[in-house]
């Protein structure tokens, strides 16, 4: 067991929120077509409120802290908040589009000891990236900011959300990251807006596009392992937790609302009305989330993918039932392995959509499905 695994296991055993994600603002200088946020300022926490929250998080045992937005650099007190967080001993990850990143900003982040900076880059082509962000010149300014961060000695990851408009540029963004000396991450997950609006889901990749990503060795690494058929469901899978949300991790909005995760908009309390530790320990919503095990999932408990699915309880919640399946994760499991999850009522029809697109020698072709009864 690695040190991180031991740390997570200990935090779970003790009921400690090991990591927290705090959005400093929902305001942003970009208007990304897939974004799930309402960028209107509806009463952000003040500097002192955030300072108080940081102290409460530290007292509760939080160690890993992600500061994000919106665009956090739009807050004039952004560096004051980062300095306060570092002064309390948090390991800080900072998420930004880097459009506003000046050389002095990068140097200050380095001096403050920020652990890692994630920068959203959607394409190596300005026409594609700028069309997604709806900010002309944004790619040029973002990459200039990335270079300043790297020159300051910071660890930088180019974070690439994949959607229909940029999926074919994924490899070139990976190569761009390597050329610049940055890391690269990709994510094909598009989520509904936090108010429940699902119109942004039109940007999700089609199954045949997911196939091209999931079977690209340069993007996912060991394809044979990544796309291997699911292991037999055992007692450990049935007793397992859906994910860390609400167990060792949580999300806090700019308005002080506390949720299990940024992708799990189940309101659990607000730090303007209660102390964080009271919400974490006493919230009925957190208690409900923590009570759920694999065997309690209404549909997924009978699925062959139970032990290996990337099912997100937050996405399931937004579909109407936190104990139910997440349709996008069902589709990912199918595209990745070629084996139909229990939610596919007509797996042969689903197979027709992607059959023949890929053949993996270590498993059956996508056309040869196993129907779960």
Give, for all 373 residues of the chain, the pLDDT tens digit. 788 889 888 998 999 999 999 999 999 999 999 999 999 999 999 999 999 999 999 999 999 999 999 999 999 999 999 999 999 999 999 999 999 999 999 999 999 999 999 999 999 999 999 999 999 999 999 999 999 999 999 999 999 999 999 999 999 999 999 999 999 999 999 988 877 788 999 999 988 899 989 989 999 899 999 899 988 888 888 888 888 999 999 999 999 999 999 999 999 999 999 999 999 999 999 999 999 998 999 899 989 999 888 899 999 998 899 999 998 899 999 999 989 898 885 555 444 434 433 333 333 333 322 222 2
Q: What is the 3-state secondary structure (H, E, C) of 202-219?
A: HHCCCHHHHHHHHCCHHH
Cα 77 to chain center, whole Å?
Answer: 25
pLDDT of the residue at 3: 87
| pTM of the predicted protein model | 0.89
276: CB partners within 8 A, 6+ apart: 53, 56, 57, 60, 258
Q: In the 8-state DSSP scheme, what is residue 261?
A: B
* Contact (Cβ atoms closer than 8 angstroms) between residue 332 and residue 354: no
206: CB partners within 8 A, 6+ apart: 164
Instruction: Tell me how far apart the alpha carbons of residues 185 and 160 are, in angstroms, rounded to a whole number.
Output: 6
pLDDT of the residue at 354: 42
pLDDT of the residue at 343: 86
- Within the chain, strands assigned E span 19-23, 64-68, 91-96, 116-120, 156-161, 183-187, 249-252, 257-259, 269-270
pLDDT of the residue at 346: 52
Q: Are strands 19-23 and 249-252 parallel, antiparallel or unpaired?
A: parallel
- CA-based nearest residue to 122, from 188, 202, 45: 188
Task: For residue 258, list its beta bridge partners.
Answer: 252, 269
137: CB partners within 8 A, 6+ apart: 126, 130
pLDDT of the residue at 276: 98
């Amino acid at each position: 067991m690695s040190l991180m695994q031991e740390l997570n296991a200990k935090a779970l055993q003790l009921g400690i929120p090991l990591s927290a994600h705090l959005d400093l603002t929902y305001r942003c200088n970009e208007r990304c077509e897939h974004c799930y946020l309402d960028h209107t300022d509806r009463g952000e926490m003040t500097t002192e409120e955030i300072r108080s929250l940081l102290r409460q998080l530290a007292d509760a045992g939080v160690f890993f802290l992600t500061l994000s937005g919106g665009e956090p650099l739009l807050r004039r007190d952004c560096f004051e908040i980062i300095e306060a967080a570092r002064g309390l001993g948090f390991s800080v990850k900072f998420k930004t589009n880097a459009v506003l990143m000046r050389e002095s900003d990068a140097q200050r982040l380095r001096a403050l000891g920020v652990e890692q900076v994630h920068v959203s880059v959607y394409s190596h082509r300005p026409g594609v990236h700028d069309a997604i962000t709806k900010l002309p010149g944004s790619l040029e300014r973002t990459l200039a900011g990335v270079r300043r961060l790297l020159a300051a000695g910071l660890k930088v990851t180019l974070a690439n959300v994949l959607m229909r408009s940029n999926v074919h540029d994924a490899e070139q963004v990976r190569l761009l990251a390597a050329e610049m000396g940055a890391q690269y991450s990709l994510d094909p997950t598009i989520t509904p807006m936090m108010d429940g609006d699902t119109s942004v889901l039109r940007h999700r990749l089609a199954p045949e596009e997911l196939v091209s990503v999931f079977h690209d060795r340069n993007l996912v690494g060991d394809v044979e392992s990544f796309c291997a058929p699911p292991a037999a469901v055992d007692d450990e899978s049935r007793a397992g937790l859906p994910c860390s949300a609400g167990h060792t991790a949580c999300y806090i909005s700019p308005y002080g609302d506390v949720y299990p995760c940024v992708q799990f908009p189940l309101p659990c309390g607000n730090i303007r009305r209660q102390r964080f530790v009271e919400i974490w320990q006493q919230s009925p919503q957190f208690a409900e989330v923590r009570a759920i095990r694999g065997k309690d999932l209404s549909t997924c408990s009978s699925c062959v993918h139970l032990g290996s699915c990337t099912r997100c309880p937050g996405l399931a919640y937004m579909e109407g039932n936190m104990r139910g399946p997440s349709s996008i994760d069902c589709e990912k499991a199918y595209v990745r392995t070629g084996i139909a999850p229990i939610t596919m009522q007509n797996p042969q029809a689903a197979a027709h959509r992607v059959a023949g697109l890929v053949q993996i020698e270590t498993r059956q072709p996508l056309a040869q499905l196993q129907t779960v009864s």
